[in-house]
Structures are given as structure tokens and as C-alpha cells.
Amino acid sequence: MNRRTLPAPLLATALRGLAAGVCGALLLLGSASPAHAQRSGKQIEQLEGTELNQKLGASIPQGLTFRNAQGERVKLARYFDGETPVILHMAYFSCPMLCPLMLQGLTDAMKDLSWTPGGGQFKVLTVSFNHREGPKLARKKKNTYVQKLGKKGAGAGWHFLTGDRETIRKLTQAVGFNFRWVEKEQEFAHPATAIFLSGKGTVARYLLGIGPPDLTGGKMRTALVEASNGNVGNVLDQAVLYCFQYDPNSNSYTASAFNLMRLGSALTVILLGGVLVFYWRREQKKNRDEDLDTAASSFGSDSHWNSSLEEEARRKET
């Protein structure tokens, strides 16, 4: 079958047109890049000083005093019993954009959990880093998001706190949460993260982001099991925690090849041991059955021999 080819002049024209199109696209991108760079530069400038310094293993100062949504003065130590993990969520309640997204993401992740805040598996502290905010606004936000969560009794385990400037500074510094006021925008610039604390107030894990795929119910559950050092969750949770380790680069729990190999080896040994025990027990049973059959045959022969002797004796007597 003959294949048709484009004439050389037409092919050359097509190639020139393609090259012109590529060059035009590059020029268009080049002309747009300065403006994009300016916008990016402004964004980077606004975010300066708002880095998150992950302080794994650090302890929060539990002697700090805040006000809860009812206006009561409470120490952070009130929320730590030595066992139950706590999710610390830094936000500010009058935030126009990022904080509502963070709170909604946190709420959606908790919806996916079978656990409830205050149900014995974990607690949540949402703390405002805006010292101008008070219990009235905290109470309003608490009612809104507890209602959105829709789990019975969640209000007993999800606490909204406010404090003064110095108290807030000590807490945020302890967990490496940096923020600053942007005068031009009239709002705070800050990172988005959920901080998982042990029941003793030690920083165990950070999950960055405002929702899926960074903050999900599954990741939250694994982080809570890790923060509790195995005090919450079931055997499956322990297996997941053993096989998956947190990767800060991907902000996710990824499979640990070494632990998976160790677990696989252990399961193989257990399986082989079970097979060997099964065959050993079957062989033992077979041997016992053979011994019983032999004994029964021997007994039968002896009985027949004794019967013959008794019959012969009776004949002689007669």
C-alpha cells in the first residue's frame, strides 16, 4: 500500500508555522512573567516571619492561663490527663479567609473519624492567637463548628480559648507557630497546621494544610494513635502505625519498607510454624491410631487363644 507524503514546500511551511506558534507562546509567557514575579514577590513578602518551625518532642507550658468560651479562666493543664492525645489548632476567630477554611477542614476530617472529641480517644483545643478576641466570639465560633460537626457530646471535648498577648506568645513559640499582622491587608499572616500533642503535652506530629489530601480522617487517626503512644485505637491502628511512618516532605504517612519486611518475615515464620505444628499433630494422631489398632488386634488374638484353651479343657473334663 502506497503512503502519501506532503510535498516538500508544504512540509516546510507547516514546520515554520509550528515554530512561529511555539515562539509566540514563549513570548507571551515571557511578557507575563514580570507581573507574575511581582505578585509572587508581594505574597512572599507578606509571608515573611510566618514560618512553621516543627518542634517535635517539645513540651507546651501547661501553666498558661486562657479563657474558655464561657469566660472562665482555665490552665492548659486542665486538658491534659497524661494519656489522651490533644489536637492543638491555632487560628483567630475574626479571620476573613484562611481560618474558616482551616476550621472547616478540621471539622470535615473529624466527621470521617468514628471517634468524637471528648469521647475518650482525643480532645481538641482551638486557640485564638489574636489577643483582641474574647470569650463571646469564641463561644459563637464553638457553637457554629460543633453544630457543623454534628456529633453528640463533641462540645465537651472541643474547646475554644482566648488569651492575652504574652500568654499567646509563649504558647505559639513553644510549638513553633509564627504569625504577624499585615497592616495593608488588615489581617494576620500565619501557617495552616494541626498540631498533635501527647496526653502529657509533648508535640508528637504536625499535619500541614487545610483539608484533603493533607488533612483527612485517616491521617488524623494515625497521628492520634502516634501521639497517644498506642493508648487509643485498636490492633489494626497499631499495625498501620508500625508499617507507615510520617514523611515530612510529603506531609503524609508513607510505607516503611524496612518495617514491612520485618512484619512480612514475622508473618512467614508464624505461618510456617503453624503448618509444621499442624502436620506434627496429624502425624502424632496417626501414630496413636495405629498403636490403638495394633493393641486391639493383639487383644483380639489373645482372647481367641484363651477361649480355645478353655474349650479344650472342658472337653478333657467330659
Query: Could you please report the per-residue DSSP string of the chain?
Result: -PPP---HHHHHHHHHHHHHHHHHHHHHHHHHHHHHHHHHHHHHHHHTT--B---TT-B--TT-EEE-TTS-EEEGGGG--SSS-EEEEEE-TT-SSHHHHHHHHHHHHHHTSS--TTSSS-EEEEEE--TT--HHHHHHHHHHHHHHHT-TTGGGTEEEEB--HHHHHHHHHHHTB--EEETTTTEEE---EEEEE-TTSBEEEEEESSSTTTS-HHHHHHHHHHHTTTSSS-HHHHHHHHHEEEETTTTEEEE-HHHHHHHHHHHHHHHHHHHHHHHHHHHHHHHHHHHHHHHHHHHHHHHHHHHHHHHHHHHHH-
Question: Residue 178 domain-assigned?
Answer: yes
Q: How far apart are CA 174 and CA 197, in angstroms?
A: 12
Q: How many domains would you assign to the chain?
A: 1
Mean pLDDT of 234-261: 51
Given this model, what pLDDT does residue 306 score?
Answer: 58
Given this model, what pLDDT does residue 241 score?
Answer: 42
Q: What is the 3-state secondary structure (H, E, C) of 236-295?
A: HHHHHHHHEEEECCCCEEEECHHHHHHHHHHHHHHHHHHHHHHHHHHHHHHHHHHHHHHH
* Position 303 confidence tier, pLDDT thresholds 50, 70, 90: low
Question: Residue 119 domain-assigned?
Answer: yes
Residue 316 confidence (pLDDT) above 70: no
Q: How far apart are CA 83 and CA 231, in angstroms?
A: 7
Given this model, what pLDDT does residue 80 score?
Answer: 98
Given this model, what pLDDT does residue 22 score?
Answer: 37
Question: Residue 313 domain-assigned?
Answer: no
* Position 161 confidence tier, pLDDT thresholds 50, 70, 90: very high
Residue 269 confidence (pLDDT) above 70: no
Given this model, what pLDDT does residue 219 score?
Answer: 92
Share of the chain above pLDDT 90, in %: 53
* Position 7 confidence tier, pLDDT thresholds 50, 70, 90: low
Mean pLDDT of 255-275: 57
Neighbours of 84 (CB within 10 A): 22
Q: What is the mean pLDDT of the chain?
A: 78
Question: Residue 31 domain-assigned?
Answer: no
Q: What is the CATH number of the domain that holds 180?
A: 3.40.30.10
203, 55 Cβ separation under 8 angstroms: yes
Question: Residue 222 domain-assigned?
Answer: yes
Given this model, what pLDDT does residue 278 score?
Answer: 77
Read off φ and ψ for residue 67, nearest 5 degrees: -115, 135
* Position 106 confidence tier, pLDDT thresholds 50, 70, 90: very high
Question: Residue 279 domain-assigned?
Answer: no
* Position 82 confidence tier, pLDDT thresholds 50, 70, 90: very high
- Return the higher-pLDDT residue of 211 and 91: 91
Question: Residue 258 domain-assigned?
Answer: no
Given this model, what pLDDT does residue 247 score?
Answer: 61
* Position 236 confidence tier, pLDDT thresholds 50, 70, 90: low
Given this model, what pLDDT does residue 273 score?
Answer: 66
Given this model, what pLDDT does residue 201 score?
Answer: 97
Q: In 3D, which of 91, 41, 95, 88 has the Cα closest to residue 191?
A: 91
Q: How far is CA 22 from CA 26, 28, 36, in A?
A: 6, 10, 21
Residue with cell 499582622: 181
pLDDT digits (tens, 9 = 90+) for 30-69: 333 333 333 444 455 556 778 999 999 999 999 999 999 9
Residue 83 confidence (pLDDT) above 80: yes
Residue 127 confidence (pLDDT) above 60: yes
Residue 89 confidence (pLDDT) above 70: yes
pLDDT digits (tens, 9 = 90+) for 145-156: 999 999 999 999
Question: Residue 239 domain-assigned?
Answer: no
Given this model, what pLDDT does residue 128 score?
Answer: 98
Given this model, what pLDDT does residue 313 score?
Answer: 64
State the residue range of the domain holding 222.
Answer: 65-229
- Return the higher-pLDDT residue of 33 and 12: 12
Given this model, what pLDDT does residue 295 score?
Answer: 61
66, 77 Cβ separation under 8 angstroms: no
